[in-house]
Amino acid sequence: MGLLLSILNIVLIDIVLAGDNAVVIALAVRSLPPRQRLQGIAFGAGAAVLLRVALTFCVAKLLDIALVKLIGGLAITWIAIKLFVEGAPADESSRPAKTLWQAMRLIVVADVTMSTDNVLAVAGASQGSLSLLIFGLALSIPFVVFASNLLARLMDRYPVIIWLGAAVLGRVAGEMIVSDPWVRRWLAPSPFLDYLTQALFALGVLATGRLWLAFQQRRGRVAQAGQAGR
């Protein structure tokens, strides 16, 4: 009975926590040709899970080190802005991740940075069992693959989802930063400040992405005008 309960807990954890990872994968593979999308999703999720297994045995200690989550949150902020700019349908001058390896690199970096909650939750539910731990981390692959493939298709049809996805990643980044031990000691943030920080990072990602797009488009028009004047 205890084993079945642990397995059920792991399944529920993977379902609940698959969303954020699916968002970053969907954004990363959106620019790939249709044939390579599923490859990018499967390879990226698989590589990230393998890294999760390797990180599981030290992640709990890493979280207690000041600035680790702060740096991770800043990395996610940059990735969120980059994916937003690359995925914006109105942008003609940006250079999206056109190769499978570029998409996989973004997926692995973002997924490993964001996987702390998943690793710790699954590790807790496995109750010290290595086989259950590996089962839980491996099980996250099909959940993430299905969700990210669906999101990538929806982004083609409804570009507003790109905005929502970038905002979600911004919120995750804000949550990581404000929960860093050093930030906690320095600010002692209240729950209100926690939520405010998450909201500001979500909006900040979108605002920065729009400014970046405007700059690229203006630079592209200037370059075109220069070529036309020759």
Cα distances from 197 to residues 175, 193, 200, in angstroms, run: 7, 6, 5
Confidence at residue 92, expressed as pLDDT on a 0 to 100 scale = 42
Q: Per the structure, how many domains does the chain have?
A: 1
CA angle, 100 as apex, 208 and 115 as ends, to 5°? Answer: 60
DSSP letter string over 184-215?
Answer: HHHH---HHHHHHHHHHHHHHHHHHHHHHHHH
Count CB-CB contacts under 10 A for residue 156: 12
Distance CA 187, CA 77 (A): 20
pTM greater than 0.75 (yes/no): no
Cα distances from 187 to residues 177, 178, 182, 183, 194, in angstroms, run: 11, 9, 9, 6, 11
Give the residue among 130, 112, 16 at the shortest CA–CA distance from 59: 112
DSSP state of 92: S
* CA distance from start to end of the chain: 78
DSSP state of 134: H
Give the residue among 127, 183, 151 at the shortest CA–CA distance from 13: 127
Distance CA 68, CA 134 (A): 25
CA angle, 95 as apex, 175 and 159 as ends, to 5°? Answer: 60
Tokens of 217: 């488009």
The set of residues, in sequence order, having a beta carbon less than 8 Å from that of 134 and lying 6+ positions away, is 53
Confidence at residue 94, expressed as pLDDT on a 0 to 100 scale = 41
Domain that holds residue 215: 2-228
Distance CA 123, CA 117 (A): 10
Confidence at residue 150, expressed as pLDDT on a 0 to 100 scale = 78
Confidence at residue 199, expressed as pLDDT on a 0 to 100 scale = 94
Tens-digit pLDDT profile for the chain (230 aa)?
A: 567 766 776 676 566 556 667 777 788 887 777 778 878 887 877 776 677 666 666 655 565 666 777 887 888 788 788 878 876 655 444 444 457 787 777 777 777 666 665 665 566 566 657 677 677 777 777 777 777 777 777 877 887 888 888 888 888 888 888 888 888 888 888 888 889 999 999 999 999 988 988 887 787 777 777 666 66
Confidence at residue 13, expressed as pLDDT on a 0 to 100 scale = 59
Tokens of 227: 């070529």
